[in-house]
């Protein structure tokens, strides 16, 4: 295993990396390394049984077909909506309805499988300083057309306070909480919904 | 004499009736708020405060012949959108190019209180109107809900006097601290009877991935294993529902049992213990969880209730083979 591969493996496995900044720079600048990282990540997910049952590869065809229908038959908007800024958005609520039977709980798990949060914790530095440095890398990823890599919006925010930090445990608790919110009927205003809507930005 | 008896009876009934009507005006406001949140068409921006952090969100809610629809958009941090109706919960993450849909229970978003529930709620909570306030430039009535024990949180609601909408809410822990708050900064009503179209924050194109986690129709219920029982529910809580579904990515099942006291609720999740779920307490904001391992299964009690409540519930779960 080369040094680069070793660094990559360490990044993904949450282990300490000798020179974090250069490892990240190398990763950002090397497309082959990025593809390799995706393969390693896939292997890791397979071993941890975190893969989805199936991935609906036909989804985008149906999405585009439906968008075409929406364009040809525009729908009325709410009277009080000031939607000028969204006039281009043609995706409507009903478009998503046929796709039922998926688990949002697991999406939280997906979104939380982020590369950069573990990295920032490995460095043993203050979180805030690393957040700024790493977010620049994150922006590169976000704008770099590297699809399939999940990008955290923020490394701040609340996380579960757990007695023992086991990999995947936070995701499991998130999944439980989402399912709890969806299947219970608490009278707590909008707090439960806000908690779920804010999930991935925090973790 | 007969006339006197009838008169006395009439007076007694009148007093009782008027007493019932004004016995709990605070509960009347809570009822009105729940109805308004469920039935009105509204759109607004609100802030969500938790653990010293402030999130800003936009909400649209509508009710039409097909039922309720709701959309939440985060206005800071990563763009996120959550769409919800009586059948589906859809989450969109534009930056990670993912769309996920899940089934939801087919009832209302806000509780529908029936007299039996109200009587039960009043056993666990005391309610009172503590004053008036102005939120988002609108007059509100402030209702405080105090738990009668330490098994549940207190709440405070600022309710729009004109239409009953919740303008602000606070969740208060057992130490009297406000742990989570939501407050509208602006809100408006839709015209009734119009078709609501909820446009997403970005156009979905073919780069988006739909990810499927359930191999089957998750709306298909599996038979609940009634051998799992909560021997002694915490005071005032009762079992509201139970369901069983397949655990994502495995052949195992997860059983969920939901308990409520009418206002607060908690869930118990039971699934085969495969490691990776350490026993003990966890918490996030006002949410507490407690995990216990029993008969090679992990039992997780989780909800917006104090730590003592989830622990008591998890410790009280038993398995009695039928």
> Does the CB of A160 have a partner CB in chain B at under 8 Å?
yes
Across B220-248, average pLDDT: 83
Please indicate whether, in this complex, the C-beta atoms of B194 and A78 are within 8 angstroms of each other: yes
Are A44 and A12 in contact by the 8 Å Cβ rule? The answer is: yes
Query: In the predicted model, what is the mean pLDDT of chain A?
Result: 50
Structure confidence by residue, pLDDT tens digits, A64-86: 455 455 444 443 333 333 333 33
pLDDT value of position A12:
65
- Residue B5 pLDDT grade (very low, low, confident, very high; cuts 50, 70, 90): low
Length of chain B: 322
CATH class name, domain B228-319 = alpha beta
Nearest CA in chain A to B246: A103
Percent of chain A exceeding pLDDT 70 equals 16
pLDDT value of position A30:
65
Domain ranges of chain B: 24-189, 228-319
**pTM (2 decimals)?**
0.63
> Does the CB of A164 have a partner CB in chain B at under 8 Å?
yes
Does the pLDDT of residue B171 top 70, yes or no? yes
Does the pLDDT of residue B13 top 90, yes or no? no
How far apart (Å, rounded) are the C-alpha atoms in residues B37 and B109? 8
Does the pLDDT of residue B34 top 90, yes or no? no
- Residue B291 pLDDT grade (very low, low, confident, very high; cuts 50, 70, 90): very high
User: Measuring CA to CA, which residue among B103, B73, B79 is closest to residue B93?
Assistant: B79
pLDDT value of position A94:
32
Please indicate whether, in this complex, the C-beta atoms of A60 and B89 are within 8 angstroms of each other: no
Count interface pairs A-B at CB distance under 8 A.
Answer: 345
Across B253-260, average pLDDT: 90
Stronger pLDDT, B62 or A197, i.e. the higher one: B62
H, E, C per residue of chain A: CCHHHHHHHHHHHCCCCCCHHHHHHHHHHCHHHHHHHHHHHHHHHHHCCCCCCEEECCHHHHHHHHHHHHHHCCCCCCCCCCCHHHCCCCCCHHHHCCCCCCCHHHHHHHHHCCCHHHHHHHCCCCHHHHHHHHHHHHHHHHHCCCCCCCCCCCCCCCCCEECCCCCCHHHHHHHHHHHHHHHCCCCECEHHHHHHHCHHHHC
How far apart (Å, rounded) are the C-alpha atoms in residues A153 and B28? 42
Say if domain B24-189 classifies as CATH 3.40.50.1820. Answer: no
How far apart (Å, rounded) are the C-alpha atoms in residues B284 and B272? 24
Structure confidence by residue, pLDDT tens digits, A29-69: 665 666 566 666 666 665 665 555 444 444 445 544 554 55
Please indicate whether, in this complex, the C-beta atoms of A190 and B166 are within 8 angstroms of each other: yes
Structure confidence by residue, pLDDT tens digits, B244-254: 887 655 677 88
Q: How far is A28 from chain B (nearest CA, A)?
A: 17
From B50, B202, B276, residue closest to A168, measured CB to CB: B276
- Residue A100 pLDDT grade (very low, low, confident, very high; cuts 50, 70, 90): very low
Percent of chain B exceeding pLDDT 90 equals 38
List the single best residue of B198, B237, B243, B285 to mutate versus A (max A Cβ within 10 A): B198
Does the pLDDT of residue A2 top 90, yes or no? no
Distances (CA, A) of A138 to A142, B78, B94, B210: 6, 12, 14, 23
Nearest CA in chain B to A80: B190
Whose tokens are 């006039």? That residue is A87
Please indicate whether, in this complex, the C-beta atoms of B284 and A160 are within 8 angstroms of each other: yes
Please indicate whether, in this complex, the C-beta atoms of A186 and B264 are within 8 angstroms of each other: yes
Are B41 and B29 in contact by the 8 Å Cβ rule? The answer is: no
What letter does residue B304 receive in the DSSP assignment? S
- Residue B130 pLDDT grade (very low, low, confident, very high; cuts 50, 70, 90): very high
- Of the listed ranges B91-95, B139-143, B266-270, B312-316, the least confidently predicted one is B91-95
How far apart (Å, rounded) are the C-alpha atoms in residues B76 and B97? 18
Predicted ipTM of the assembly: 0.80
Are B213 and A102 in contact by the 8 Å Cβ rule? The answer is: yes
pLDDT value of position A71:
43
Does the pLDDT of residue A193 top 60, yes or no? yes
- Residue A189 pairs in a beta bridge with none
Residues of chain B positioned with their CB less than 8 A from the CB of A76? 194-195, 197
pLDDT value of position A46:
59
How far apart (Å, rounded) are the C-alpha atoms in residues B26 and B40? 20
List the single best residue of B185, B212, B292 to mutate versus A (max A Cβ within 10 A): B212
How far apart (Å, rounded) are the C-alpha atoms in residues B171 and B155? 5
pLDDT value of position B16:
43
From A93, A105, A164, residue closest to B198, measured CB to CB: A93
Q: What is the DSSP secondary-structure string of B59-83?
A: EEEEEETTEEEEEEEE-SSS--EEE
pLDDT value of position B54:
87
A 52-71 residues with CB < 8 A to B: 52-56, 59-61, 63-64, 67
Does the pLDDT of residue A26 top 80, yes or no? no
Structure confidence by residue, pLDDT tens digits, A174-188: 878 877 877 777 666
Does the pLDDT of residue B25 top 80, yes or no? yes
Please indicate whether, in this complex, the C-beta atoms of A111 and B219 are within 8 angstroms of each other: no
- Residue B14 pLDDT grade (very low, low, confident, very high; cuts 50, 70, 90): very low
- Residue B51 pLDDT grade (very low, low, confident, very high; cuts 50, 70, 90): confident
Host H or E run for residue B19 = helix B2-23
Are B143 and B130 in contact by the 8 Å Cβ rule? The answer is: yes
Whose tokens are 């008969």? That residue is B295
pLDDT value of position B77:
78
Please indicate whether, in this complex, the C-beta atoms of A63 and B205 are within 8 angstroms of each other: yes
Residues of chain B positioned with their CB less than 8 A from the CB of A83? 199
- The Cβ of residue B141 has, within 10 Å, a number of other Cβ atoms equal to 21
CA-CA-CA-CA torsion sign (A93, A94, A95, A98): positive
Contacts of B266 (CB under 8 A, 6+ apart): A180, A184, B237, B258, B259, B260, B301, B302, B303, B304, B305, B309, B310, B313
Across B24-40, average pLDDT: 89
Please indicate whether, in this complex, the C-beta atoms of A99 and B188 are within 8 angstroms of each other: no
Structure confidence by residue, pLDDT tens digits, A139-170: 222 222 222 323 233 333 447 888 888 887 88
């Amino acid at each position: 295993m080369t040094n680069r591969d070793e660094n990559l493996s360490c990044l993904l496995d949450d282990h300490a990396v000798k020179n974090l900044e250069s490892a990240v720079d190398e990763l950002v600048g090397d497309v082959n390394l990025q593809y390799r990282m995706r393969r390693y990540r896939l292997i890791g997910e397979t071993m941890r049984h975190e893969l989805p049952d199936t991935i609906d590869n036909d989804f985008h065809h149906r999405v585009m077909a439906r968008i075409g229908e929406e364009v040809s038959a525009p729908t009325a908007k709410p009277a009080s909506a000031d939607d000028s800024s969204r006039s281009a958005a043609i995706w409507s609520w009903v478009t998503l309805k046929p796709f039922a039977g998926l688990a949002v709980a697991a999406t939280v798990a997906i979104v939380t499988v982020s590369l950069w949060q573990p990295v920032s914790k490995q460095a043993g530095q203050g979180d805030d300083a690393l957040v700024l440095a790493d977010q620049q890398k994150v922006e590169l990823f976000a704008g770099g057309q590297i699809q399939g890599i999940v990008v955290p919006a923020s490394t701040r925010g609340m996380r579960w306070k757990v007695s023992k930090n086991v990999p995947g445990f936070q995701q499991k608790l998130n999944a439980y909480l989402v399912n709890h919110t969806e299947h219970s009927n608490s009278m707590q205003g909008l707090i439960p919904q806000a908690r779920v809507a804010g999930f991935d930005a925090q973790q | 004499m007969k006339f006197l008896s009838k008169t006395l009876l009439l007076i007694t009934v009148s007093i009782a009736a008027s007493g019932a009507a004004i016995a709990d005006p605070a509960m009347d406001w809570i009822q009105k708020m729940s109805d308004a949140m469920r039935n009105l068409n509204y759109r607004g921006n609100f802030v969500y405060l938790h653990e010293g952090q402030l999130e800003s969100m936009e909400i649209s809610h509508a009710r039409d012949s097909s039922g309720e629809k709701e959309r939440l958009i985060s206005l800071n941090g990563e763009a996120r959108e959550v769409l919800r109706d009586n059948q589906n919960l859809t989450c969109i993450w534009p930056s990670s190019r993912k769309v996920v849909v899940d089934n939801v229970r087919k009832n209302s978003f806000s509780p529908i209180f029936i007299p039996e529930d109200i009587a039960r709620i009043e056993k666990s909570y005391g309610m009172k109107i503590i004053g008036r306030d102005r939120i988002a430039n609108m007059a509100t009535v402030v209702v405080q809900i105090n738990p009668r024990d330490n098994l549940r949180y207190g709440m405070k609601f600022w309710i729009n006097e004109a239409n009953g909408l919740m303008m602000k809410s606070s969740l208060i822990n057992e130490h009297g601290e406000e742990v989570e708050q939501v407050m509208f900064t602006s809100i408006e009503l839709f015209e009734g009877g119009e078709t609501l179209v909820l446009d997403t924050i970005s156009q979905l194109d073919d780069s988006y991935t739909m990810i499927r986690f359930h191999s089957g129709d998750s709306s298909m219920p599996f038979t609940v294993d009634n051998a799992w029982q909560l021997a002694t529910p915490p005071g005032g809580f009762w079992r509201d529902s139970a369901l069983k579904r397949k655990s994502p990515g495995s052949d195992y099942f997860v059983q969920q049992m939901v308990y409520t006291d009418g206002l607060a609720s908690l869930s118990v999740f039971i699934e085969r213990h495969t490691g990776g779920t350490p026993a003990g307490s966890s918490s996030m904001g006002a949410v507490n969880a407690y995990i216990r391992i029993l008969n090679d299964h992990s039992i997780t009690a989780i909800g917006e209730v104090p730590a003592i409540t989830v622990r008591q519930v998890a410790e009280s779960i038993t398995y009695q083979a039928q």
